[in-house]
Amino acid sequence: MCLAVPGKVESIFEADEMTMGTVNFGGVVKEVCLVLLPEIQVGDYAVVHAGFAISRIDEASAEETLRTFQALEHPTDPRS
Amino acid sequence: MKHLTEYRDGETAKRLAGEIARQVTRPWAIMEVCGGQTHSIIRNGIDQILPDQIEMIHGPGCPVCVTPLEVIDKALAIAARPDVIFCSFGDMLRVPGSEGDLFKVKAAGGDVRVVYCPLDAVKIARENPDREVVLLAIGFETTAPANAMAVKVAHDQHVDNFSALVSHVLVPPAIRAIMESPGNRVAGFLAAGHVCAVTGYSHYRPLCDQYQVPIVITGFEPLDVLDGIRRCIIQLESGTAELENAYPRVVTEQGNVAAQVLLEEVFETIDRNWRGIGAIAQSGWRLRDAYRSFDAEIKFDVSAIATRESTLCRAGDVLKGAIKPNQCEAFGKQCTPRTPLGATMVSGEGACAAYYNYGRLVPLEAPDVQAASAKVAEQA
Amino acid sequence: MADDSTSNTPRDHGDKTIEFSGLVCPVPLQDYPNIILGHGGGGKLSADLVQHVFLPAFQNDHLAVLGDSAVFQLAGVQLAGQRLAMSTDSYVVRPLFFPGGSIGDLVVNGTVNDLAMSGATPLYLTAAFILEEGFPIAQLKRIADAMGAAARRAGVAIISGDTKVVERGHGDGCYINTAGVGIVPDGIDIAPNHTRPGDVVILSGTLGDHGMAIMSVREGLEFDAEIRSDSAPLADMVAGIIQVCPDVHTLRDPTRGGLSASLNEIAAASGCGIVIDETRLPIHPTVQSACEILGFDPLLVANEGKLVCMVPAESADAVLNAIRSDKHGSGAAIIGRVVADHPGVVVAKTAIGASRVVVAPIGEQLPRIC
């Protein structure tokens, strides 16, 4: 459920009394409704679902998660 | 893509699987609640690299799968009207009602359109003032704010030819229903990361406490799913039953407050039927009275449509983890992705379709479907 | 895992294994009494129409091969061992103009490529237009100019045509059919059922460019991206392949239904299994991103200037080099192998070292939210 994709907010503007923005998803730029993320800034990454940004990505947490993965031992044989 | 590809690395996936194998000492059944996670597991073959002791049970978190037959029938009835432009997410077009699907309605002349964003349906309504525009507003908590916003915009801007056929469902009551179902085997849950991005997660703690079950909020990429399983196994092996957030880059404890305010304003909680499972108390949302004039069910007077599910289909048992898809009598016979009896065969994320599409080489009695197909590929 | 794999193939399970053939559409056309859009999607529904409506009505040996084009000799006409290839295709693309091309490019390159996939040198095309009342002649002229330019690039001549006009509301602006003939050199015999276990699978470049270029300008989905249709004629590339590997077994251009449809068709026609390595699939990062957003599988997205070929292992490097030296083949890669196991089934090895079955698409891909 809930296909949501991370993208970088490139601009924020008002249209039809609604806060909108352009979000760059790895080279694909789409207009997205930002009204649910009033604190979002240009340059932030947001998770977008069904045309709405629903969550700001916390870069520090992302880095920490990746560091946790890197700290894991190298595999032997998972089934042994 | 940043924040996506980093979580797909094959070598790190093997390390996580190795860590899981080191932790596990006995069999555990873990349910990934969300269909997106099921999709990720099947598409990447995640359960093939897990130790044999771990069984992944595919949960009811695919909104396409659990939308009840009678809602589909209501959608078909409304979409067939000549005065209606019927807007739906692409996923729902092939979901079978009692008499065909939205594709069939479209082929018979119905104006059925795929929308990417619910606001697009409001835009279509503005551009077609002489037509009625109806949005099929399905989904879990993740999709609900987008649908709620569409209704609110239509309300505030007096786009009165817009309405929504609402069938929203909620994750926590489903977890409760699974834990209370007789013969439940689920020992731990991966909760749906994007649902929690909207709702936050403090309301999951009582579930951990009441049922003594670990719940790990989990993302969707292979490394995220494996990390969720790893944390769940560590808890199970050590006998704890806590709420953990394995997706902190996206999910915070309080969630998206603006979305929650919007949901509270537009929706109220009601009992909902889940396709294949049955009624779950207080498990869904409908429009509040202030927005009732935008309720397509009332506007088009389809409340009387009540439909019974196929008696052959055991989607409910599949969704509850009681049986594997290929243990259903109709699986692969009366029921295929081409001729689905239940929605678990329709959606690409449905457990039955996933088994059919990705696990067709599977010995009927083997519990680990993907491992078998891996062995086939390896031999090759 | 490797240790017990030898004793645990489906075959060894005998009657405990789900009977694969029993799962494939035993009762055809029962699901839809009327044509739905998916019947034109190049997937299982399209195959149904061919199997259950057209093949029984038209039955003959040429059609039964189910190639992209038919290859035959004219009775009593001596062509010094050469045979004719003939093919036809209709084009209903929307919008008519898209990044990287227009329907004018598609109608020429598409039919040229269908001919080329049988090893033919394309020579002549016909063009038939079905125009909707009210369609701007200026647009028709743009399309015709594009067709003329594409024909010159592909080295073919458009030598016959037809125009019909339907009432407003009975068409979608402009539909075009093209048919083409070409000549297959002596000794060349390329067909899906010539694929053999041990063959190497080579893809001539990135996947999904055309389909996602169309999506980027599809009403309601619009997005900005540097994605251009890959529409291109492939006859020169095929000539290059044949030069280094005259016994190339199978060629296919993965158009509607994407690589998945092509590989599944080849697997079914040859009775072989196919294993591809997902990490080796060339996919433009922007195309991949667009697929992520819409929930599409790049394996199912259309291409208009790519081919996939099955060649004997000993010729693989030579063929790969031949394709790479063509101007439309710089991104070519070896993506997999043909195997004797799991006949008729395509399996992909995933990035995490597991595998999945690659299923043929049923109908059209639609944007997903879940």
Cβ burial of B214 (10 Å; 0-12, 13-18, 19+) is: buried
Residue C97: the pLDDT is 96
The better pLDDT of the pair C221, B208 is held by: B208
Question: How do beta strands C273-277 and C70-72 pair?
Answer: unpaired
Type and span of the H or E element at B370:
helix B369-379
Hey, are the CB atoms on A26 and B2 less than 8 Å from each other? Answer: yes
pLDDT at B119: 96
CB pairs under 8 A between A and C: 44
The pLDDT value recorded for residue B358 is 66
Instruction: Give the number of domains in chain A.
Output: 1
Interface test with B, best of C355, C358, C365 (most B CBs within 10 A): C355
A35 touches chain C (CB under 8 A): no
- Contact of B371 with chain C, judged by CB distance below 8 Å, is answered with yes
**A45 contacts in B (CB within 8 Å)?**
2-3
Strands B215-218 and B188-192: parallel
Q: Give the number of other Cβ atoms within 10 Å of residue B379's Cβ.
A: 18
* Best CA proximity match to C174, nearest among C48, C90, C287, C296: C90
Restricting to B residues 153-192, those with a Cβ less than 8 Å away from any Cβ of A are: 153, 157, 192
Q: Is residue A28 part of a domain?
A: yes
Task: Tell me which residue in B35, B44, B379 faces C370 most closely, judged by beta carbons.
Answer: B35
* pLDDT tens sequence across A46-57: 999 999 999 999
Instruction: Please give the pLDDT value at position B349.
Output: 63
Q: What is the pLDDT of residues B146-198, one digit of tens each?
A: 999 999 999 999 999 999 999 999 999 999 998 998 888 899 999 999 999 99
CB-closest option in C223, C290, C295 to A3: C295
Q: Tens-of-pLDDT digits for all 380 residues of chain B?
A: 999 999 999 999 999 999 999 999 999 999 999 988 988 998 899 989 999 999 998 888 888 888 888 999 999 999 999 999 999 998 888 888 888 889 999 999 999 999 999 999 999 999 999 999 999 999 999 999 999 999 999 999 999 999 999 999 999 999 999 899 888 889 999 999 999 999 999 999 999 999 999 999 999 999 999 999 999 999 999 999 999 999 999 999 999 999 999 999 999 999 998 887 788 999 999 999 999 999 999 999 998 888 877 788 888 788 777 888 888 999 988 888 877 887 788 776 677 887 787 664 443 333 333 343 344 344 33
Partners of residue A11 in chain C, C-beta under 8 Å: none
Query: What's the pLDDT score for residue C315?
Result: 97
Is B201 at the interface with chain A, CB within 8 A? no
Tell me the chain A residues in contact with residue C286 when contact means C-beta distances shorter than 8 Å.
26-28
Q: Give how far A15 is from chain C: nearest CA, Å.
A: 17
CB contact under 8 A, B375 and C4: yes
Q: Domain limits at A57?
A: 5-73
Classify B268 in phi/psi space as left (phi over 0), alpha (psi -120 to 50) or beta.
beta
Q: Is the pLDDT of residue C41 over 80?
A: no
Q: Out of A1, A28, A49, name the one closest to residue C289 (CB).
A: A28
| CB contact C366 to B (< 8 Å) | yes
**Among the listed ranges A30-39, C111-120, C164-173, which one has the minimum average pLDDT value?**
C164-173
For residue C175, the model assigns a pLDDT of: 96
Q: Which of C222, C225, C368 sits opposite A27 (nearest CB)?
A: C225
pLDDT at B319: 74
Give me the phi and psi of B66, to 5 degrees please: -95, -5
- The length of chain C is 370
**Distance separating alpha carbons of residues C203 and C209, to the nearest angstrom:** 14
What CATH number does the domain containing A68 carry?
2.30.30.140
Which of helix, strand or coil describes residue A47?
strand
Q: In this complex, which of A25, A49, A79 lies closest to C289 when CB atoms are compared?
A: A25
Q: Any idea where the domains of chain C sit in the sequence?
A: 71-184, 192-357
Neighbouring chains to A with at least 3 Cβ pairs closer than 8 Å: B, C
A31 within 8 A of B116, measured Cβ to Cβ:
no
Is C218 within 8 Å of chain A by CB?
Answer: no
Q: Residue ranges of the domains in chain B?
A: 1-379
CB contact under 8 A, B42 and C356: yes
CA–CA distance, B260 with B252 (Å, rounded to integer)? 13
Predicted local confidence at residue A36, as pLDDT: 98
d(CA B59, CA B254): 25
- Point out the residue among A5, A77, A79 whose CB comes nearest to the CB of C292: A5
* HEC-encoded secondary structure of chain A: CCCCEEEEEEEEEEECCEEEEEEEECCEEEEEECCCCCCCCCCCEEEEECCEEEEECCHHHHHHHHHHHHCCCCCCCCCC
For chain A, say whether C99 makes contact (Cβ under 8 Å): no
| Per-residue model confidence (pLDDT) at position C351 | 93
- Check B44 against C345: CB less than 8 A apart: no
pLDDT, position B80: 97
Restricting to B residues 283-322, those with a Cβ less than 8 Å away from any Cβ of A are none
| Tokens describing residue C73 | 């000799």
Closest partner residue to B120 (CB to CB) among C10, C220, C355 is C220
Kindly report, residue by residue over C309-353, the tens digit of the pLDDT.
Answer: 999 999 999 999 999 999 999 999 999 999 999 999 999 999 999
CATH of domain B1-379: 3.40.50.11740
B143 touches chain A (CB under 8 A): yes
Overall average pLDDT of the A58-67 stretch: 96
pTM, two decimals, is 0.88
Instruction: Say which DSSP state B193 is in.
Output: H
Token pair listed for C250: 């199978």
- Check pLDDT > 50 for residue C15: no
Classify domain C192-357 at the CATH topology level. Phosphoribosyl-aminoimidazole Synthetase; Chain A, domain 2 (3.90.650)
Q: Give the neighbor-by-neighbor strand order of the sheet with C157-166.
A: C70-72, C83-91, C174-184, C121-132, C157-166
Assess whether pLDDT exceeds 60 at residue C256: yes
Nearest to B41 by CA among B223, B259, B178: B223
* B19 chain-A contacts, CB cut-off 8 A: 72-73
Domain C71-184: give its CATH architecture.
2-Layer Sandwich (3.30)
Comparing CA positions, the residue from B86, B72, B90 lying closest to residue B124 is B86
Lowest pLDDT segment from A70-74, C135-139, C258-262: A70-74
Average pLDDT over residues C224-247: 96
Whether A72 contacts chain B with CB within 8 A = yes
User: Which residues in chain C have their CB less than 8 angstroms from residue A3's CB?
Assistant: 295, 368-370
User: Amino acid identity, residue B207?
Assistant: L
Decide if B117 and A57 are in contact by the 8 Å CB cutoff.
no
Residue with structure tokens 């927005």?
Answer: B291
Pull the structure tokens for residue C229. 């249709």
d(CA C155, CA C141): 21
pLDDT score at C176: 97
> Whose CA is closest to B49, among C109, A17, C150, C349?
C349
Please list every residue in chain B whose beta carbon sits closer than 8 Å to the beta carbon of residue C294: 116
Query: Which pLDDT score, from 0 to 100, does residue B348 have?
Result: 66
Interface of C with A in 252-311 (CB under 8 A): 285-286, 288-290, 292-293, 295
Return d(Cα B269, Cα B282) in angstroms, integer: 6
CA distance B256 to chain A (A): 7
Does position C11 have pLDDT exceeding 70, yes or no? Answer: no
Q: Which of C9, C221, C341 sits opposite B116 (nearest CB)?
A: C221
CA distance B10 to B41: 14
Place of tokens 């394709």: C323
Burial bucket for residue B29 (CB in 10 Å: 0-12, 13-18, 19+) = middle
For the residues of C227-243, what is the DSSP string, one character each?
A: --------HHHHHHHHH
At residue A75, the pLDDT reads 59
Name the band, by pLDDT with cuts 50, 70 and 90, for residue C22: very low
Q: Which of residues 99-158 of B touch C (CB under 8 A)?
A: 103-104, 106-108, 113-116, 120, 139, 143
Contacts of B61 in chain A (CB under 8 A): 1
How high is the pLDDT of residue B22? 96
